[in-house]
Amino acid sequence: MYKLGINFDEISDKLDDSIKLMHELDIRYGELRTINSKNFVFWSDKEVANFKKITSKAGINLVAAATPLFKWYKTDQDPDIEHDNFGFDPRLKMDKKLELMERTMVIASMLGITRLRIFSGLGKPGPNAGLDFANDVLLNKALLLADQYKIDLYLENEPVCQVNNKKDIVQLFNACNNPRLKFWLDIANLIEVGDEIDREFLDKIHDRIGYIHIKDYLLIDGIKHYVPVGQGKIDYRKIIMLLHQTCSDDLNISIETHAPPDKKIDYSRISIHNISLILKEFQL
């Protein structure tokens, strides 16, 4: 049975408002990123404990945390890239990257979260981006830490990061068979870079997929506009049918609307409704 959830800050930056809508829509699975505009990787122990107390009392299961790990520049010489950073400085020295990786896993352990999203480094992909990232020294340090804390790292295909297309995703997972590295499939991101979700791709990667991000958009005069799921260009019924045919029934599906601040609640409500209808159609 698929678990349908949502990122708290996709509803509101205020945790109480997010929980209120989740209760209204009977959504019990939460994904963490920022609360009150503060990225969770920078929380104090007191803030972690308070968040855990509130979500536990509300009956929300914390299934994943969307970390900013590896959404950074590899060197000081890398050119600036426009991207969403959610209060995170992508220009960190090596010691700060290592320190942040461990602190993130400490916080996840305190919250009982065993799935952490990571990225693959800001920048344009080289000809062997998947293989290069598989051999990244910091990735391998992160995987050692992840094993120590009994946490799985889920690589998301972010367009502004180096592993963002089907070829490089498959190359990465062929090169790295560490069971702690899994795939956080963002469907809209893959379509944005010109790839389609097809049976051939899913057959190659299905056993590494454990988490799905869902959002929708329209292109108007070549400009991307995010819209509620089901009102954009992505055929989620077709894609969910393919996922159902190829992947485990233990997938987590999370809504990520990227709505304007004044439309977050409306977009979230519509998106959850439309995806719920599709999941019910397949009895998922």
DSSP 68-115: -TT-S-SSTTSPP-----TT--S---HHHHHHHHHHHHHHHHHHT--E
CATH for 3-203 (3.40.50.620, 3.40.640.10, 3.20.20.150, 1.10.3720.10): 3.20.20.150
Q: Please write the tens of the pLDDT for every residue from 94-141.
A: 999 999 999 999 999 999 999 999 999 999 889 999 999 999 999 999
**Band of the pLDDT at 260, cuts 50, 70, 90?**
very high
Asked if 243 contacts 199 with a C-beta cutoff of 8 angstroms, the reply is no
Q: Please write the tens of the pLDDT for every residue from 135-193.
A: 999 999 999 999 999 999 999 999 999 999 999 999 999 999 999 999 999 999 999 99
Cα separation, 116 vs 20, in Å, equals: 25
Confidence (pLDDT) at 76: 83
Cα separation, 158 vs 190, in Å, equals: 8
Residue 85 predicted with pLDDT over 80: no
Residue 87 predicted with pLDDT over 90: no
The residue among 160, 159, 138, 142 whose CA lies nearest residue 93 is 138
Ordered by start, the domain boundaries in the chain are 3-203
pTM above 0.75, yes or no: yes
Cα separation, 4 vs 30, in Å, equals: 9
Residue 86 predicted with pLDDT over 80: no
Task: Give the type of residue at 152.
Answer: D
> In 10 A of CB 253, how many CB atoms?
21
Least confident stretch, 122-126, 206-210, 247-251: 247-251
Q: What is the mean pLDDT of the chain?
A: 95
DSSP 156-192: E--TTBS--SHHHHHHHHHH---TTEEEEEEHHHHHH
Q: Please write the tens of the pLDDT for every residue from 7-47.
A: 999 999 999 999 999 999 999 999 999 999 999 999 999 99
**Band of the pLDDT at 1, cuts 50, 70, 90?**
low
